[in-house]
Structure 1
Amino acid sequence: MNVLIEWLYRSPKGLETAFRSEEMAAAQALVIAEDLEKTGRAKNVQFVDRFDSSWTVKELKSYLKGIETEPHNITVYFDGGFDQMTKAAGLGCVIHYDQSGKSYRLRRNASITGLTSNNEAEYAALHLCLQELEMLEAHHLPVKFFGDSRVVIHHLSEEWPVIEQTLSNWADRIEAKMKTLGIDPEYELVSRKANTEADRLATQALKGIEITATIER
C-alpha cells in the first residue's frame, strides 16, 4: 500500500503550517513519520491512502504487522487464448506474492466455452486472476497486473474507451470485483515474450491440460 504523510509543523516560536509528502510505500512512510515525531515539532501526523482513508501511526503499524502473514507485494500476469474453430477459450494466470517472510508463485489455468473472441478471453483470464486473489484472501492492497493485450490494459487504465458491449460487461465485472476486494490496480502492457508463462498456461488449457500449483520461490 502506498500512502501520503500529512502533518502540522510547529516552530519553537509557535508558528504553524501544514505539510503533505509525496506518495510512498507505507513502510517507508512509517519510518519517516516516526523520525518526524522525534523532532517534537511535527503534530497530528497521519497517513492518507489512495482511497482517501486516513491512518494514524498506530493504525499503520498494526496494518503492516498484520499483512506479514497475509499475501502482499503481489504481481499478476494474465493471458487468454481463443480457438476460432472450436470456440473454446484457455485462460492463464500467474501470481507472485510474499507471505510470512516467504515468496510464492501461483500458477492456474482454466478452459471455458461460451466466449466469442480472443479479447473476451483476455478479460476472462484477468477475472480468473481476481478469483484466485480472493481465494488467497488478498485484499486492500495495491496489485500490479501485467498483460500483453492492448485492449484490456488500455481499457482498464482508461486510455481507450470500451465500445463493445460484451467487453464493457467484462470490464464492469472486473472493476466491481476490484472494489469488493479493495484492490488498487496498476496495469502495465508487456510483450508476449515477457508474458510467456501465462501464455503457456492458456495454451495448455486449450489442449485440455489443467494446472493448479503453488511453489515457493
Structure 2
Amino acid sequence: MKVRIELTYKTPKGTNTTFSSDDMHAGKAILIAEDLESIGRTKNVTFIDSLESTWTLKELKKYMKGIQTEPHNVTVYFDGGFDLDTTNSGLGCAIYYEQNGKSFRLRKNALVEELDTNNEAEYAALHLGLQELELLKVHHLPVTFVGDSQVVINQLNGEWPCLEEELSKWADRVESKLKQLGIHPDYELISRKGNREADRLASQALKEIEITSTIETNREE
C-alpha cells in the first residue's frame, strides 16, 4: 500500500507550517514518520492512502503488522500478443510482492486460441494476472497493474470509452474479478521497453514455451 504523509512542523520559536509528502510505500512512510517524530517538533502526523482514507501512525503500524504473513505491496506487469499467422495469443504476467519480510517474483504465461485481436490479448493477460492473484490469496488490498497497452490502461482508468463489444466484455470481466477480490487497482502505463519482462513471457507463450515460476528476489520497490 502506498500512502503520503501529512504533518505539522513547529520551529523552536513557535512558527508552524504543514508538509505533505509524495506517495510512498507504507513501510517507508512509517520509518520516516517515526524519525520525524523523534525530533519532537512535529504534530498531527497522518497518512493518506490511495482512497483518501486517513490513518494514524498506530493504525498504520497495526495494519502493516497484520498483513506481513500475506502477499502485499503487489505490482502486476502484464502483456499480451496476437499472432496474425496462427491466430494464437500469448499472455504474460510478472507479479512482484512481499510476504513475511521477503520479496518475491511470480512469472506466468499462457497460450490461448480463442482471441481475435491484440487488444483482447492485452486484456486477457491482465485477467491472467488477476487469476494468479486469486491463487496467491491476494484480497482487499491496493494493487498496481502496469502495462504498455494504452487501450487497456486508459479504458480501465475511464479516460477512454470502451466502444468495441468484445473489449467491453473483457473490461467487465476484469472489473468483476477486481470486485470479487476486493482489490483496489492503480493502473500505470509504461513503454514497451519498460515492460520487457511481461513481453518476453507473452512471446515465449506464442512459441509454446510454458513458464510458471516463483522465486525470492532482492527487488527494491
TM surpasses 0.5: yes
CA offsets, 1:89-135, max 9 Å, x none?
22111112222222222110112222111110110001101111222
Deviates more, 1:52-61 or 1:106-115: 52-61
Q: Aligned pair in 2 of structure 1 residues 198, 46: CA closer, same or farther (>3 Å)?
A: closer
Taking structure 1 as the reference length, the TM-score comes to 0.78
Deviates more, 1:137-146 or 1:87-96: 137-146
Partner of 1:190: helix, strand, or coil?
Answer: coil
Deviates more, 1:60-69 or 1:113-122: 60-69
Aligned-residue RMSD, C-alpha: 3.3
Alpha-carbon distance in structure 2 between the residues aligned to 1:28 and 1:60: 11
Alpha-carbon distance in structure 2 between the residues aligned to 1:172 and 1:20: 40
Alpha-carbon distance in structure 1 between the residues aligned to 2:80 and 2:73: 24
Q: Give the drift of 1:149.
A: 1.8
Deviates more, 1:120-129 or 1:65-74: 65-74
Aligned to 1:207: 207
Alpha-carbon distance in structure 2 between the residues aligned to 1:151 and 1:41: 44
8 Å CA contact 1:146, 1:190 repeated in 2: no
Q: Aligned pair in 2 of structure 1 residues 29, 209: CA closer, same or farther (>3 Å)?
A: closer
Q: Give the drift of 1:41.
A: 8.3
Deviates more, 1:58-67 or 1:122-131: 58-67
Alpha-carbon distance in structure 2 between the residues aligned to 1:60 and 1:102: 19
Taking structure 2 as the reference length, the TM-score comes to 0.77
Deviates more, 1:30-39 or 1:99-108: 30-39
Aligned to 1:12: none
8 Å CA contact 2:145, 2:185 repeated in 1: no
Q: Aligned pair in 2 of structure 1 residues 173, 20: CA closer, same or farther (>3 Å)?
A: farther
Matches within 5 A, 1:139-178: 139-178=139-178
Deviates more, 1:115-124 or 1:128-137: 128-137
Q: Aligned pair in 2 of structure 1 residues 176, 23: CA closer, same or farther (>3 Å)?
A: farther
Matches within 5 A, 1:56-71: 56-71=56-71
8 Å CA contact 1:4, 1:20 repeated in 2: no
Q: Which amino acid aligns with 1:98?
A: E
Unmatched 5+ stretches in structure 1:
10-16
Alpha-carbon distance in structure 2 between the residues aligned to 1:56 and 1:194: 35
Q: Give the drift of 1:52.
A: 4.1
Q: Give the drift of 1:6.
A: 6.5
Identity across the alignment (%)? 57
CA offsets, 1:130-175, max 9 Å, x none?
1112221223444332222221122223332221121122122222
Matches within 5 A, 1:69-80: 69-80=69-80
Aligned to 2:182: 181
Partner of 1:128: helix, strand, or coil?
Answer: helix
Alpha-carbon distance in structure 1 between the residues aligned to 2:147 and 2:42: 46
Aligned pairs, number = 214
Q: Aligned pair in 2 of structure 1 residues 29, 203: CA closer, same or farther (>3 Å)?
A: closer
8 Å CA contact 1:144, 1:185 repeated in 2: yes
Aligned to 2:103: 103
Partner of 2:162: helix, strand, or coil?
Answer: coil
Q: Give the drift of 1:211.
A: 1.6
Aligned to 1:118: 118
Aligned to 2:23: 24
Alpha-carbon distance in structure 1 between the residues aligned to 2:156 and 2:37: 38
Alpha-carbon distance in structure 2 between the residues aligned to 1:41 and 1:125: 46
